[in-house]
Structure 1
């Protein structure tokens, strides 16, 4: 009897684990089927896009179709969609040309899409993710955003630095006037060079309290050092946000298969060649007590203290944040004015309206001042139209989704880790949103939807509804809206108020073609300028 009992116990000791293993196997199988079913369901809800290859996704097509931004545009056009999904390696890239979906991402779901990719290029330019613009969401980004918003770009700080901006507006007028004076009253002007160095002069003055890295130019124009500095910044911008294969395949991160790393390293090395000595010397001055009051934004960064009265920022953080400010400041104002003037030269009526507004608001006995800006609505409309039609780049910096989500009334699934890109030109030229989207028509911005009178009160360059992208919105929106707007409007206003512009001699129109694969004008704008104000007005500046 006892032997039978023992045998029974052994049977159950063996049977129970077997039953448990069997039940576990069935459970795991059912769970796997459920996950697989869910995966198929969510995959079917991804935005439309080309069918990816196993493992590599659509990387072969990306490599075979340069430039990548044009390839993305063609995909979306062929699919007739305003949101797409392109898998590069194991990363989903989601380009968007719908203002409504863009708004949903950057307002209702702003926190989910508040991060940036950990690209090699972003890490390199930001000194190891130390600044604000390129840093993934986290404590470092929060720290640097607070510094930018509260300490560098607050209304109080911008007011403090106003005289430096005025001096650079005066200087650019003097530079053009000298070119005219030295050529019997009229001169052929390289508008791209002029606009870029106006922007460069301002940011150098605000940050380093200097216009020149090298010798001062009597005519007010840039020297070799300033040209090299600005050219390096634009090279940096070109490769910083470019599509590099190593950004999508982790094992290729240390390689430079497309040459982007070499170009980016050379550009940042040139920029830092000018920045680092000034920063190191200034830090030394403050530490030695040879400098005790703030004159520019570099002083502000060095002087910031934490709760224990220790320096808030390391020297590397200061260097990284200054790099951020340089690459984020010079491109939009200069590109907008070059394209805007090119379009206006081909449409003399728009140029006439702009100068009439300036003469009405400012007159001809003085220069335009920042206090005139609220009344210059047609000038602002011209700038907005340039941002809409000719953004400096089609691709906005990536937003990375930090969790799975759905957009467009749960129509489309966006997986965690996806890189969402707002296509600036695609949104600005969206024919569903804009009538005659390829025509330069500033008046459209003065006829604002639902309330036409609003536009004539105080038009803004910012567009929170994202029908065009100037400064974006949300947590990752540009904190320098006031500075960027002021720089852009003053560049338009000073140049159009101070000079008559016409196409170069022996030409009838301005060619408006874009550089292949980019939104930049293919050829730098050359235009003929003559003074339109009394001589004494120029002598004052």
Structure 2
């Protein structure tokens, strides 16, 4: 080895040593600076992995139990990421209202990267001009109050299809797979508004396959170790990223096919554009406001996954609770018989006259929120919350599941009791992001864009199911109320039941 080569190696070694010492020194100074500030209390985690190994398979439950020890604002090291968990209405309000602007962005996670077209969607996009444009378009043409009224006839049509299919199952003595059939109906509602056509029959392998894809989407978007320990993300220890990439390809093929067919048929809708026509026409606006094809596909993916699965989950949980508590089902049916009778189907305009049915929906939001830990946010800058120091880039999770089961907020919180929402104290509580005791759709500027649609669809479909049919479990089948954790809270065993008609036969035609 030459003299020059030896000198070069020495220089590299010295440089690496300086880099290592500098890195340790900076880390020490940051840690020392933080130690002089009061972080929220929290559990001591493992080296490198932090609190991740403590969470188990049901993180929302584990974090709820931890909050009983450490308090409603907890600080955890999740891998190498700082994380704060809010577990009470007051704590949620402090972050999502008082500090809403500081926590208006989402962290970068594998699900958003590999499934959400690199965070180009409405759920995970950074808070800024493009996100505001997506939100504005969806509110104006699909999810806002007036837009919802404009496509009420679509909801009525799809509910009628669903009821007819369930009635046929009853006549044949077949079980109704509740989640599949409800998800199919909601997906068709969305597709009629977005694409001007129904994309699924009520029953069949195609709709079941799509439902399975959506469930997989929500399940694998849960805890991924690589999101919290970036240096080992490339190893994909859980195999989650590989699953995401494969699932993304399947969704992308579907979305490309949908868009291509839609463009080819655009001449048929001249003067009467649907939602996708409006999105595609956005290419004519100034370039800084223009939606890319990734934005469009990512938004469609939001609508066909989060926009369908969350609502069908709530309906499935609510019906399961009523099968578990037949007196609640009976009281809901009595209310509907008094208001509507049995000579006609229920219509949307009946819903405001059904306070007990609305109370059942609220009680289901409380006990079975679709996103138990909310969708994560991240601190843009360091801040103070209730006297605690929250460092910059800290991730925030609001434990909505814990808030719904808080003994300090709710009497007998583990009991499914819709009557609590008929009391003078709770009657005015709504799931619209204002009352922090009940925030199933989140709150603040990043509240779920489709929460208005979800409330209408959930109340309408659930009311129709209860009014139209008597429900019972198949002989020998026990009701399973276990949960499966993911980005959304699924039933471990999907609900299936037998139906028999309650209305005059003409109502099912």
What is the CA distance between 1:92 and its match in structure 2? 1.0
2:258 aligned with 1:278, yes or no?
A: yes
Aligned equivalents of 1:365 and 1:67: distance in 2? 45
Which of 90, 102, 119 does residue 100 from structure 1 map onto?
90
Equivalent residues in 2 for 1:112-511 (5 A)? Answer: 112-183=102-173, 187-212=174-199, 216=201, 221-240=202-221, 242-286=222-266, 291-304=269-282, 307=285, 312-408=290-386, 410=387, 412-449=388-425, 455=428, 460-506=430-476, 510-511=479-480
DSSP-derived class of the 1:243 partner: coil
Equivalent position SS for 1:501: strand
Contact 2:344 2:504 in 1 (8 A): no
Match of 1:39 in 2: 34
Distance 2:30 2:65 in 1: 34
| Pick aligned residue for 2:501 from 531, 535, 540 | 531
Distance 2:79 2:130 in 1: 28
Q: Tell me, in whole angstroms, the C-alpha distance in 2 between the residues paired with 1:91 and 1:35.
A: 14
Q: 1:13 — aligned with what?
A: none
Q: Distance in 2 between matches of 1:53 and 1:309?
A: 48
Give the number of equivalent residue pairs: 483
Matches of 2:393 and 2:248, distance apart in 1: 28
Task: Name stretches of at least 5 consecutive residues in structure 1 with no aligned partner.
Answer: 1-31
Structure 1 position 248, deviation (Å): 2.0
- Residues 483-528 of structure 1, C-alpha deviations (whole Å, 9 max, x = no match): 1111100111110000011232346x63323347884322222222
Deviation at 1:464, TM superposition (A): 1.9
Deviations along 1:427-471, whole A, 9 cap, x unmatched?
A: 11111111111110001111142xx6x54xxx7443522212222
Asked if structure 2 preserves the Cα contact closer than 8 Å seen for 1:303 and 1:311, the reply is no
Equivalence for 1:72: 63
Cα drift, residue 52 of structure 1: 4.3
Distance 1:250 1:531, change over 3 A: same
TM-score (norm 2): 0.87
Q: Return closer, same or farther for 1:91/1:501 CA change in 2, 3 Å cut-off.
A: same
Structure 2 unaligned regions, length at least 5: 1-26
1: CA distance, partners of 2:506 / 2:352: 26
Secondary structure of 1:475 counterpart: helix
Identify which of 514, 521, 530 aligns with 2:483. Answer: 514
Offset of 1:67 from its aligned partner?
4.7
Sort the Cα spacing of 1:522 and 1:177 in 2 relative to 1 into closer, same or farther, 3 A. Answer: same
**Which sits farther off after the overlay, 491-500 or 477-486?**
477-486
| 2:61 is the counterpart of 1:61 | no
- Aligned equivalents of 2:408 and 2:289: distance in 1? 52
Please state whether the residue corresponding to 2:149 is helix, strand or coil.
helix
Partner of 1:51: 44
Secondary structure at the counterpart of residue 446 of structure 2: coil
Task: State the secondary structure of the residue aligned to 1:267.
Answer: helix
TM-score (norm 1): 0.82
Contact 1:233–1:267 (CA under 8 A) maintained in structure 2:
no
Q: Kindly state the Cα deviation for residue 175 of structure 1 after the two structures are TM-superposed.
A: 0.9
CA distance in 2, matches of 1:477, 1:313: 22
> Offset at 1:310?
11
Tell me, in whole angstroms, the C-alpha distance in 2 between the residues paired with 1:500 and 1:494.
11
- RMSD of aligned alpha carbons: 2.7
What are the superposed Cα offsets for residues 253-290 of structure 1, whole Å, 9 maximum, x if unpaired? 3331211112222222222332221112323554xx56
